[in-house]
């Protein structure tokens, strides 16, 4: 049985819904609506995330806009979505199953290498690229 851990909370993948979420989170795909991200060959998991980098321990770092109940996105100001950076650790070697542990990135200083597909020569430009891709994809997928 697969297990998905989100922010140190463990969820069994026994139900169809949880299993689908687990499988979706592990996919790599092209962006459908964010043309710059598609052109840059940035990768999405089709669950609202973009592959950003690898941390100092070699784990993938993903960014996502925060979505709550009723598919509403968290904002700190009107029309400004909140972005969360997470580290995805492959735990299959520990549990001998298909499992990952998802935790918050504690510091941007923990990023060892930015993906080449994240355009920008400084963090402000890279963040703008990430934000624009995530928002375009969210708008496109929700109509």
Verdict on whether the full-model pTM lies above 0.95: no
Which phi and psi (to 5°) does residue 68 adopt?
-110, -150
Rounded to 5 degrees, what angle do the CA atoms 127, 24, 62 make? Answer: 20
Structure confidence at residue 21 as a pLDDT band (50, 70, 90): low
Mean pLDDT within 58-85: 86
pLDDT of amino acid 142:
52
Indicate the domain borders of the chain.
Answer: 3-142
Structure confidence at residue 6 as a pLDDT band (50, 70, 90): very low
Structure confidence at residue 99 as a pLDDT band (50, 70, 90): confident
């Amino acid at each position: 049985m697969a297990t998905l851990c989100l922010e140190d909370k463990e969820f069994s993948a026994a139900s169809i819904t949880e299993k689908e979420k687990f499988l979706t989170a592990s996919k790599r795909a092209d962006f459908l609506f964010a043309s710059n991200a598609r052109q840059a060959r940035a990768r999405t998991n089709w669950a609202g995330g973009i592959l950003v980098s690898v941390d100092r321990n070699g784990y993938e770092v993903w960014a996502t806009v925060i979505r709550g109940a009723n598919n509403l996105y968290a904002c700190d100001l009107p029309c400004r979505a909140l972005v969360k950076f997470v580290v995805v650790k492959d735990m299959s070697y520990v549990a001998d199953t298909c499992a990952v542990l998802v935790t918050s990135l504690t510091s941007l200083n923990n990023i060892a290498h930015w993906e080449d597909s994240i355009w920008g020569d400084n963090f402000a430009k890279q963040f703008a690229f990430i934000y624009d891709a995530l928002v375009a994809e969210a708008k496109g997928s929700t109509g």
